Amino acid sequence: MPAIISDQFRILNSQNFVNNVTGAASTTDKYYIFIGMPNATNTLSGGTPTWTISTPSPLDGFKEENEIKQTIIATKQISPDDIRRLVRKVQWVAGSTYEMYRNDYNIYNKTPVTNAASLYDSNYYILNQDYRVYICLQNGTDPEHPSGRPSYDEPTFVDLEPRAAGTSGDGYVWKYLYTIKPSEIVKFDSVEFIPVPNDWGNSGESIATKNNAIDGKIESILVNTRGSGYQPISTSFSNIPILGDGTGGKATITIDSFGKVSDVFVTNGGSGYTYGTIQFYPGAPGSDSGGPLANLTNTGIGTTSRATFNIVIPPKGGHGYDIYRELGAYRVLLYSRFESLDSNPDVILNNDFARVGIMKNPTIIGSSTQVLNDSLVSGLSALRLAGTTTATTYAVDSIIKQTVGLGSTAIGFVASWDNVTGVLKYYQPTGLASSETGFKILPFTSNPDTGYGTTIQCSSIIGPALSIDTNFNGITTTINNQIYQLGINFTSGIGSAEFNTKSGEIIYIDNRQPIPRSTSQKEDIKVVLEF
């Protein structure tokens, strides 16, 4: 049986997701953007040797989910200010032809300019140079220009009512919707998409726009065929009723010198219309009560020479009432900025990351149920090593080991090394499990079995191998009267990841080319979800 998932269902899903992040559900559900995969070309860390040449597509499975969590560097909570619904970016360019809003586009009646089978895939709204968004209610469409005409007047007004933008006579009528705020341009603007305001109709200028909307108000009427033989010529007929299931709709129709309909425009949009028509011929209903159309004569006019019209029905609630439905906001953008902070150095330096993702409801350390609620946390474990000097170097992406017992070896990859503080951050992907480790991933420890030490060996090191500073506790250290924030709390020289790395649901994965990080660098990450 033929069936579809409608665009409105997609819009509903995007709305539900945003509400889950920003609404009442946000008290129980927490979403995080993470960066990870610092060693993308090493198969032991879950990478591929050809990652930089041909980045692999992410795999979606329970095995892969666990492996992804093992290589998370840091993860940052998504706040209500970090999420917006999106629509496609359609910029106004002089001389371009834009489509107009119509309610009847489908696979059998495609849009005339873009040949789209859906309104939402057509260019029926624009973004001007001042980041104002307008919907096109008329684009000069008539029998001679069935696809509309080029636009020459850029709309810049912020009036509540639709109107033409200039004096060129291009035939365009625009309705102003909203202006993208500078703060939102920074976070949510992109090459392909623009943001739609959150909480439409409840704050800012959207209140007036929504309150001005009238459900079923007709804003646009098109002439499909001009007819012929109308008398008297060069006459305008006012208050022609718009017939249908609404009330109060009126139009003015003008006859040219050839006895044809030259123009039609709405004089009163009325309300409540979900369908409508205009009957314009002698004897047609000329009033809401159904009386004959006055002052119209004809000479042998037949049904084939009657003018026909198309009543464009607005979206539910009227234009400007529900911006998400009107513009087709079934995409969502989540924003996050990762930068190294002296106050919280959870985002490591001097390494790269090759994966971005979204995780739902990671839990705190030591719990499988209590959801994490911190703004920024590290996914890496750490060791505080004693006796470091500026000449000591544990190379990033090298392997570190500690023999913790008979036939027992802890093993991991170096994620970062700070030769000032002596903090070595590392991760332990399952790929490191081998016969050497007893096919287990053992933790590094300040309390190994009797006869075994705390020395941390490394596959690539400059200087002597150092040992765990088993006397160090805390999250800060003082060196030469300067206090250093370490980002991770240490107990006997051991620091664990700041969330339960076996918890959470991975709901988005993006593998990409490795991005190196440096001291002054910030990464603005924008993830677009399309429902």
Residue 518: C-alpha distances to residues 340, 353, 416, 491, 511 (Å): 9, 12, 12, 28, 20
- pLDDT tens by residue, 126-138: 999 999 999 999 9
519 pLDDT above the threshold of 90: no
- pLDDT tens by residue, 486-501: 999 999 999 999 999 9
Confidence of residue 206 (pLDDT cuts 50, 70, 90): very high
The pLDDT value recorded for residue 390 is 79
Confidence of residue 301 (pLDDT cuts 50, 70, 90): very low
The pLDDT value recorded for residue 438 is 73
The pLDDT value recorded for residue 371 is 92
Radius of gyration of the CA atoms of the chain, in A: 33
DSSP 3-state of 401: strand
26 pLDDT above the threshold of 80: no
445 Cβ partners below 8 Å, 6+ apart? 402, 404, 410, 454, 494
| Joined tokens for residue 163 | 């109107």
- Residue owning tokens 């032991």: 44
Whole-structure pTM value: 0.88
Distance in angstroms (rounded) separating the CA atoms of residues 67 and 89: 36
CATH 2.40.10.10 fits 7-83+333-376+502-530, yes or no: no
14 pLDDT above the threshold of 80: yes
Tell me the three-class secondary structure of 235-276, residue by residue.
CEEEEEECEECCECCEEEEEECCCCCEEEEEEEECCECCCCE
The pLDDT value recorded for residue 454 is 96
Residues 486 and 425: beta-carbon distance below 8 Å = no
- pLDDT tens by residue, 325-351: 999 999 999 999 998 888 788 999 889
- pLDDT tens by residue, 164-173: 999 999 999 9
Peptide bond into 146 cis (omega under 30): no
- CATH 2.60.340.10 domain locations along the chain: 7-83+333-376+502-530
